[in-house]
Amino acid sequence: MSFLRVSGTKIVDGEGKEVILHGAGLGGWMTMENFISGYPGCEFQIREALAEAIGKEKSEYFFDKFLEYFFAEPDAAFFKSLGLNCIRIAVNYRHFEDNDNPRVLKPEGFRHLDRVIEACAKHSIYTIIDMHTAPGGQNGGWHSDAGVHIAGFWKHKDFQDRLVWLWTEVARHYAKNPWVAGYNPMNEPADPKGTGLVQFYDRVYAAIRSVDPDHMLFLDGNTYSIDFSAFPDDAKDRWQNTAYAIHDYAIYGFPKSPEPYARTPEQLQKMKDTYKRKRAWMDARGLCVWNGEWGPVYARREYDGDQTDDINERRYNVLKDQLDIYRVDKLSWSIWLYKDIGFQGMVYVSRDTPYMKRFETFLARKFRLAVDAWGTNDRYVKQCYQPIVDLIKDSIAEPNRHLYPPIWSLEDRVARLSRTMLVAEYMVKEWADTLKGLSEAELDEIAASFKFENCLKRDGLNKVLTDHAASFKGSI
């Protein structure tokens, strides 16, 4: 079997036949995220808190079982049944290296990753390894698992050295595996200057190529994968066998949509223009584009009541219309995401499972307090934080209120620092304490809630994806 590779603007197989990758992100697994599995704050916080609450041995047992159950053979079989062919696996660097023991590889980090890649290969599913977190944090989001809003990765060369080293080890490990489609060296970088990202890509490209000349690279644009303005004009020759990753989330697929999505010509044109603007740099240079993340979030009856079905029908329409836009370019994409507890996943944990029952009250309060940044609805608490926004507006001159990253409004910045970091931090111990006093057998039962057989399918979403993929039948 030959490796996939980039040829001009296309991805092709060993015979030169075009391959269009249609798939999903396996987020929330080897990089846990708060909205995906229901905890507050960052992954490192809840891991530390659980070890303190129930002991290191039981904590490690629980998280290991979580990894075992979250994605297994039945998940791969179901995924393939939808006609999809690629899974982007989000990975936390902490599985392979400890901050207090840098540049010492933890071989056990490959155990679950190898297992999932093998399960996918058995069903002819390609995988893309996505380094979703970086030492020090490559952006100010919760998903970089740094716990701060300023990305330290760009301020300390040692953080950069460590990630280059780690990618050398990962690429060496998978160099001969053709079912690994390629490597996504950094998820959603946010380098205020842009030049640091280019320098990092130069270094990580050289490091990977020193041990693996064959696999594709998927390089995210700057500022959360939307800005390529600092990238070099000679990228095609400088970084060969490389696709360029945009993330194309449409505002109409989220609670903060400026208006209900009605498929008006104006709304459709806005989505199309946004997408075209993100890929314009690559199109001008004849480069390959890959949409590494996109997709709406969905209403939940326990929170959105009678409006749930109407909201979700509009979100499915956003989904369909984005795919129609992508169809013209025969775009390869990876929707966010495969599995969660009911907000965005193609499959989601049933409300009747031990995990969801145990955390039901906690999750409801977490929703009301809006402690997650992703797709949040702040209707219950907005009035609490508005005075902070007003104070800044009244006290700071307008030109000085424009900080990096520009995609964060003043309101977003206040929310991230106050709600999603400060308030979330106060909820971490409570999340961990909810698992206190349980035996290993009971912890196993809680973790098993994430097994495929304990999940429900979001049929509306899956049908849209399947219908789109079927229209390209003939490509792998």
Q: Which active-site residues does the annotation give? A: 188, 293
Spatial contact of 220 and 188, defined as CB atoms under 8 Å apart: yes
Beta strands in 403-454 (DSSP E): none
Cis peptide bond prior to 337, omega within 30° of 0? yes
Which one-letter DSSP state was computed for residue 258?
S
Nearest Cα neighbor of 458 from 324, 372, 331, 337 is 337
Which one-letter DSSP state was computed for residue 419?
I
Beta strands in 192-304 (DSSP E): 216-220, 242-247, 288-293
Instruction: Taking each helix axis as running N to C, give the angle between helix 440-447 and helix 56-70, from 0 to 180 degrees, rounded to the nearest 10.
Output: 30
Q: Which residues contact 193 (CB under 8 A, 6 or more apart)?
A: 154, 230
Question: Strand 5-7 and strand 10-12: pairing?
Answer: antiparallel
Residue 123 Cα distances to 73, 117, 460, angstroms: 9, 10, 23
Nearest Cα neighbor of 49 from 466, 476, 432 is 432
Q: Which two tokens stand for residue 156?
A: 């300390």
